[in-house]
Amino acid sequence: MVQGFVSQSLMASMSRLFTQPSRVAVIAFASFIGFLLLLFGYRNSPTNVRSPSLAPSDSGRGTISAARQKSLGAIQNTTLGFEKILAINLPERTDYRDGLALAAAVSNIQVEFINGVHGDTVLDKVLPPKHVENPEAALRGSWRAHVNALRSVVEHNWTTALIFEADVDWDVRVRDVLTNVALGSVALLSPSSPQGVEDQQLHLSRLSFPVTEAPLSPYGDGWDVLWLGHCGMQIQRGSNIVVIEDEDTVPEAQFVRTWDADERSPLEEYPAHSRIVFQPEGCVCSIGYAVTQGGARKLLNSLGLHRLNAPVDIMLREWCEGQDGDGPHVCVGTLPTVFASHRPAGSTAGDSDMGTPSEGFRDRGFTQNIRWSVRMNMDKIVRGDTDYEDQFSDTVEELVD
Ligand SMILES: *[C@@H]1O[C@H](CO)[C@@H](O)[C@H](O)[C@H]1NC(C)=O
Ligand SMILES: *[C@@H]1O[C@H](CO)[C@@H](O)[C@H](O)[C@H]1NC(C)=O
């Protein structure tokens, strides 16, 4: 049974989402596993039964209803299926802006920069009523920058927006990654029944969703935050977990790192190269997160008008979990992270505008958790080479049949 895996608000959003009762059925074709084939098992229209034709369409999505395919197709667009992508950047961090502008350009992603904020320009009188005593400049600045981004989403009435910090990095195959996340989040947000669910794990390859209409967002409807870029998150107790197997972009679990070097990744419990999508808790770092219009309004109300009692990522985490007087909100997380912070070669003093800069020098840059990192492969990419460097090559040879 999957009792209690959904919060009240998730329930509410589910009932808004689906007009027909849905059921989760196990489809017995266990050997059909893999990115291509899982999609044949993923049926989201009652009239759309598993098709035996293996027509080499785009990526084998022939059995997903046309409406859903169209909606997933939006992930290929220049804003990755969101209405807008914003990136927070302090104007004098020209290094960050150069790097992100180039990474976005070569990935055909359209990013709108919004200025970061210097803490000393944030007056005491604009602080929300509940704030830490004398917030230090770094905290004021990053709070204001993120709230400005959220406010911009509200002012423009964008249906969804993805908010980046400017040192963000991603895999060359980011659109494939996000398509899997979208399949996962729609499955997570759908009103599943306990049948076919083992240990709260929903194997995408075995699920069937009679969905009458495609969601408005390719990532599903009814979410507040999609926390896509983080440096660590846990699975909320009782959350359902959608397991997407055989994703090539996922490093072996031994390579998956978080802010806490001693932490074992929850991914160690799953077959190698699985991506999981779930309701998160204990999230750290706000490298990239998407909000819906509803999510942005609620966040602007909470973080803009009520409180500044922790760094932004911690406030966002508390807001998701429903601490601090806020009810729980519908936040969807994924492991491994889709977006990560890039640390370029050179002086380490530039790593953060938040804490005290560290004195040091790196010969080689890095990005944790991202295999074909766009930033790490930039020399090749601008040359037009496609033999990308894999930062986390497999140590275990997979059996090929
Ligand atoms: C990309 O797709 C999303 C979702 O359909 C849409 O809101 C957005 O406007 C699209 N972006 C572009 C640049 O077409
Ligand atoms: C905001 O967008 C929604 C649909 O996404 C629309 O119904 C509403 O009228 C818009 N509001 C404003 C002020 O434009």
Mind listing the pLDDT tens digit for each residue in 311-367? 999 999 999 999 767 788 999 999 999 999 999 998 888 787 766 667 788 889 999
Ligand nearest to the CA of 81: 1
Inter-CA distances, 85 with 7, 112, 153, 269, 329, Å = 29, 6, 10, 33, 22
Instruction: For residue 38, report the distance from its CA to the centre of ligand 1, in Å.
Output: 26
Edge-to-edge strand order for the sheet containing 201-203? 112-115, 84-89, 160-165, 288-292, 225-229, 331-335, 275-278, 241-244, 201-203
Instruction: With residue 316 as reference, give the H or E element that holds it.
Output: helix 312-321
Q: Which residue has the higher pLDDT, 196 or 282?
A: 282
pLDDT at 66 over 90: no
pLDDT of residue 34: 31
Check if the beta carbon of residue 40 is closer than 8 Å to that of residue 32.
Answer: yes
DSSP 78: T
Q: What is the pLDDT of residues 243-288, one digit of tens each?
A: 999 999 999 988 998 888 888 889 999 999 999 999 999 999 999 9
Distance between Cα 77 and ligand 1 center (Å)? 6
Residue 372's pLDDT is 97
* Average pLDDT over all residues of the chain: 81
Q: What local confidence, expressed as pLDDT, does residue 192 receive?
A: 58
Whether 159 is in the pocket of ligand 2, judged by its Cβ within 6 Å, is: yes
Q: Which residue has the tokens 């981004």?
A: 149
pLDDT of residue 94: 96
Whose C-alpha lies nearest to ligand 1, atom 9?
83
Alpha carbon distance, N-terminus to C-terminus of the chain? 36
Are 56 and 119 contacting, i.e. CB atoms less than 8 angstroms apart?
Answer: no
Q: Which helix (H) or strand (E) holds 201?
A: strand 201-203
Q: What is the pLDDT of residue 265?
A: 87
Share of the chain above pLDDT 90, in %: 63
- Spatial contact of 190 and 209, defined as CB atoms under 8 Å apart: yes
Mean pLDDT over residues 117-133, rounded? 94
Do residues 114 and 86 touch, judged by C-beta distance below 8 A?
yes
pLDDT per residue over 14-55, tens digit each? 333 322 222 222 222 222 223 333 333 333 333 322 222 222
pLDDT tops 80 at residue 87: yes
Burial group, residue 49, by CB count within 10 angstroms (0-12, 13-18, 19+): exposed
**What's the rounded Cα separation, in Å, for the pair 190 and 303?**
28
Atom of ligand 1 nearest to the CA of 71: 5
Q: Ligand 2 pocket: which of 155, 156, 157, 221 to mutate (most atoms <8 Å of CB)?
A: 157
- Nearest of 334, 322, 311, 389 to residue 139 by alpha carbon: 311
CA of 157 to the centre of ligand 2 (A): 6
Distance, CA 294 to ligand 1 centroid (Å)?
17
**How far, in Å, is the centroid of ligand 2 from the Cα of 263?**
44
How far apart, in whole angstroms, are the C-alpha atoms of residue 12 and residue 22?
15
C-alpha 369 to ligand 2 mean position (Å): 38
Ligand 2 touching residue 157 (CB < 6 A): yes
Q: Ligand 1, atom 8: nearest CA belongs to which residue?
A: 83
